[in-house]
Structure 1
């Protein structure tokens, strides 16, 4: 990250609530889980899918299945437009058994283990709504990375990666709606705490979190966002 982008990023973060969670689960450098091949999404009316899209605070139906997670990552993040076609957005998956980053570039897309162990307590201490940590079985962190564009674009590209993240976020939410999954975008978190949890390098930062669970509750019980 350029000095200018870092200064802007740090200045904005100083306006947010700061959290100092205890130690994260230990790093784990060995372990790759291939994702199942994402099947095509069932044909659906786009307007109806957009109409079903709701944020929810209820995650009583467990985690998305591995096939559903593969669809969220591939159809949601992998197909989202990005400036210059660069790898500006990388998804990470945080569950009760560890932290993994999704390598969607491999011939066989895989989840690569970053940390092993339950990060729930760390997550609880690093978000603005701590009770969310116990409710949410799966977090998808959309990480913006300025390194791929450093030699192509000026510091102003710091703004563009947020647009890339927004496109990926909307894709993920619509794919989740098509699959009938419960989701909620979350922006109330401590940047430094999540950078430590995901073991990010200096050019990367978490743009937004997506809380994800199994079957969504009826629309009457969900909130619009």
Structure 2
């Protein structure tokens, strides 16, 4: 698709089919992965204030071919399994719209990190974490649209339940969730 087509077709979707490993890998690498080089320095597709690693990404996988159900951490093109098993019950209890837990092939969780940001910047950087997360969500929407995947940002969730599900410590918090799956 051209950029104009992607922007025109970008929308929230609520019906999802099974995803492939390739779909997930392409989505995550183009939305957040290192894709640009400038003078021997690699930059992420999702810029951050001060160039700090202010966001982490987790994938709650439910229906992805070749990927075990459970909670995974995404880092540098790799998924690391943190918790194996059907994530739907835990997601249902966390979401204000629990139907996403049963419909989405995966839920990407964008986690804001205070440990790397507030050390360098004062409290105002707390606001820029949300800007960084918004940029990443828009990237997820645009890449999923280009790949003919269905996606939807989710802001209605219980922070404490998601924090427990991901085993986050007090220096991180879930900033946004993004449901995704094959367009049906």
2: distance between equivalents of 1:185 and 1:149?
24
Q: What residue number does 1:46 align with?
A: 3
d(CA) in 1 for partners of 2:155 and 2:2? Answer: 29
> Partner of 2:75 in structure 1?
103
Distance (Å, rounded) in 2 between the aligned partners of 1:68 and 1:77: 14
C-alpha RMSD of the superposition: 1.1
Cα distance between partner residues in 1 of 2:103 and 2:80: 24
Cα deviation 1:70-128 (Å, max 9, x = unaligned): 12111102211101111111110001311001012xxxx21111111111111111110
Correspondence 1:83 to 2:38 = no
**Aligned match for 1:186, one of 154, 165, 174:** 154
Cα distance in 2 between the residues matched to 1:188 and 1:149: 25
How far apart, CA to CA, are the structure 1 residues paired with 2:30 and 2:51? Answer: 16
Q: Matched residues in 2 for 1:208 and 1:46: separation? A: 25
Where do 1:26-175 residues align within 5 Å? 44-59=1-16, 61-63=17-19, 65-78=20-33, 79-96=45-62, 97-104=69-76, 109-175=77-143
- TM-score when normalising by structure 1: 0.72
Unaligned runs of 5+ in 2: 34-44, 63-68
Counting matched residue pairs gives 167
- Aligned equivalents of 2:100 and 2:25: distance in 1? 23
For structure 1, the residue ranges without an aligned partner over 5 or more in a row are 1-43, 218-225
The runs of at least 4 consecutive aligned structure 1 residues that moved more than 4 Å come to none
SS in 1 for 2:94: coil
Whether the 8 Å contact between 2:118 and 2:126 is mirrored in structure 1 is: no
How high is the TM-score relative to the length of structure 2?
0.87
Structure with the bigger percentage of strand: 2
1:137 Cα deviation after fit? 1.7
